[in-house]
Amino acid sequence: MGHFSHVDVNECEESEVCGPNSVCTNTVGSYECACAEGYTMGDDGQCVDVDECLPGTNCDVNAQCTNTEGSFECACAEGYEGDGLECTDIDECSNDDHDCHSDAVCINTAGSFECACSEGFEGDGRTCTAVAEEEELPTCESRSCKGDCLNYTDGGQVCRCRSWKKYGNGCDVLKQTCSTNWKRSCGKLQLDDGVICKFWCPPGCNEAGKLFGNDTYTANSHVCRAVIHAGLDENAEGGFFLAVGLTYDGPYEGVTRFGLTSRNKNRYTGGTFRIVGDEDIIE
């Protein structure tokens, strides 16, 4: 009687037994098909790509997921670092990897950073400039006023000497000229804070000369031209006027008024004056 030998046939060695994107597993007398990793069985019985980038799967919440054929790739978003599966915030402030201004504070945020100008500066944090000091107008109460107290129209006060003879700094009468070389004007109007100088201007002081600021002028500005620019002598007729010294270093903004143009000056420490007026001045 003859003997029969049963040898299993490996169907998986035949090409595309299970179709594309699948894995064939040989069994005794048969075989099994399963979709490869990254694929799933579709309604038509074919293995189709799995979209691993569906929300809430695989990549970190702060990463960009890119679906590929049978797989996926993760890349951390800008401002984060890691392998994409896990991403952590980059502290640009601690790493000094920011463009905040030197006069600003860097504030780290999730995935980014913010810049804020330091106290005393203003801007968007990437550009910061010093805040101009507010001009503090003097008051009679802030000093021992030995004369008459005059009021500014904008609220400040000054103390005027009762006599126009020499009384402290700047209480003598100055005879001003229209010359651009005017060094002897109340000591170039380098007056102490709140001290008034009475001066006289001749007619016609409306030509070129140094003039910095508006309403508040640098001490090297021509005082008679400042009177015209301030609107107290629009027709350049001349006369007696009052100026008061202030504590102020700038900035000074130039403007064109009454036919005269003043210039800008960021800072000036040589003195400051303001035209008080010409009311009730005894010539």
All structural domains of the chain with their residue ranges: 11-49, 90-130, 140-277
CATH of domain 90-130: 2.10.25.10
Averaged pLDDT for residues 206-233: 85
Question: Is a pLDDT exceeding 70 seen at residue 259?
Answer: yes
Report which DSSP code applies to 227: H
Shared fold status for 11-49 and 90-130:
yes
Q: DSSP H helical segments within 61-143, as ranges?
A: none
Q: Which residue type occupies 130?
A: A
Neighbours of 219 (CB within 10 A): 22
| pLDDT given at position 170 | 33
140-277 maps to which CATH number?
2.170.130.20
What average pLDDT does range 18-43 have in this prediction?
85
Residue 160 CA to chain centroid, in angstroms?
42
CATH 1.10.287 fits 11-49, yes or no: no
Mean pLDDT over 80-108 rounds to 92
Runs of H (alpha helix) within the chain: 186-189, 223-229
8 Å CB contact between 166 and 160: no
- Which pLDDT score, from 0 to 100, does residue 254 have? 92
Beta pairing class for 173-175 and 157-160: unpaired
Mean pLDDT along residues 197-216:
78
- What is the residue whose two structure tokens read 């075989």? 31
